Structure 1
């Protein structure tokens, strides 16, 4: 039996412990090495997967880029096609506009000649209506996108409206429509006389077109109480009205949004476009109020130049009535028609003509003169002269 001394025993124990530590260290290193290999393996798998996904995504991106490029090429081609088409449309529009302008401009002189030489009342009225249409087209073509230049001066508002009423009276007469000018005869406004008259003509023509027979059209006014010296003018009819959703569209060029239910001929759709441009040139805007099958009112504002008693009516009395010199017998004869005249307004042309035709102009030379002046008052829709003639026999 082998016997170890204590010193040898300690050496053996120390060696054994060292060997165990080496084994433990080896296993620890081996464990971490295995973990490291696993991590590397998993990472490589993930890397391959990621690379695969990136490759697929890259292929997708490349495919998308190719598709985008194709779309871009198509868009560029479409853009080029649109630019060519737009150029052609512009050229066609310019050609059409120039041709229209030339034709309309060439029509202006012959129409003016017809107005000057015609002795037929209806031909004159229709020629004036056509001339207004021609002037509207020319001004819209010329000043579209611009401001119409004005030749402003102080004008008598009622007289200007009367002249417009006279111009369209034959159309109102055909439908037995009464036009009442309720503007005071002492208001002067700062405006372009010819342009303002055409504004009235277009509004009134429009009102006649869309008002049923035996209807009423009124030209009214209201002085604004805002210390701005302005007056609101309203042209109101009791016609078919305008649907609310259609109101923003009625000022568009060549628009014909209104229904034709009044037996009136088809319109060109340019009158209101001109009115909008002309009113805006006067520093105002058109407002529209309408209820279907009840009424339509076009309103705009003008600058008041002066309010004063005018000599317009007095001059008419002095120049037209005073020269007739009716004697007692003449007045007694004409007085029998006074009540009928007193019930009629100067714009009720058909009824006035009926009464006028009863008057015997052979009664005397003065009665003949009086009847002739009455005929002028009716023909010109001159309410001042008409009222003066009535008063001369009262």
Structure 2
């Protein structure tokens, strides 16, 4: 990795120490230029005409996304966000009263809200799989509950929003691969920072976003739809003329590929940015990104534990480039404001985003620092220096 060039490619590095990549990362200049360039084409040609004239570039999105997730381009859909991807997949599941959904205690907050809403509407049963002593999903409990309940759906967040824990996806895949249960994997925090093979996950659906570790634009998401899901006829509840062909007064035929989960109205400029974000990440190399991020978080944790009043809150035998910690006698709003005033971006996670996790840890909020490969040890030193001033 050429870190000097990577930082030159990242204009924001000149303005801010950005350690909030789990929120929204700094885009490479080439990503922003891809968006601006397509907007200019629409400005001069018109939206429909621009899409028709750039069909090959639009098709490139599906090819690059397939390379990222190690699947076929027919399995890829472009969406508005990770939550949009997740909910489109969720809408395809024909829930009936009494259906069981297995959740982890570290599922994404928006996912919990969606399931609570489904419970109110369809009277489904929500059952949590226990955590192991290390913090990850308890694989023995998962196996037992798969056998006991034969659930309609298993939902797992690969990496939760409230900590750097990485769920043991390979082991989960081994347990779920021969089950009738639909497997929905939320990968919004893992895409772009660790290797992800959608096919080997045995997930029916994998949802993700571009604004985080993929370093793409906000308002762009990705949905992987497995061959098994497509061949079984799963389709979004509110399918439109992008995803299906109207063939009779009360009949339609869904597309054979994952584009059945897309809408006719698409932000193609953001798709161009998303394509470039994937291309850039693949050029740097996901393995290289993960290795560099491990260097950064190891350094960060080593320096944080030297500070009085700070308690690291991450659990799990394998952890990613998200570091969470609590600080004694400090308000989360004031902390973010203080750091931003010193040229540093971080995030905080409130109790409402991780009720179960924080209840178990006995905390109300955490500071969340998420370095990425374009960050430097010098920037971490600056963060530590500023934290000393609290």
Is the structural similarity TM-score above 0.5?
Answer: no
Instruction: Give me the TM-score of the superposition, normalised by structure 1.
Output: 0.22
Structure with the greater relative contact order (CA < 8 A, sep ≥ 6): 1 or 2?
A: 2
Answer 1 or 2: which has greater helix percent. 1
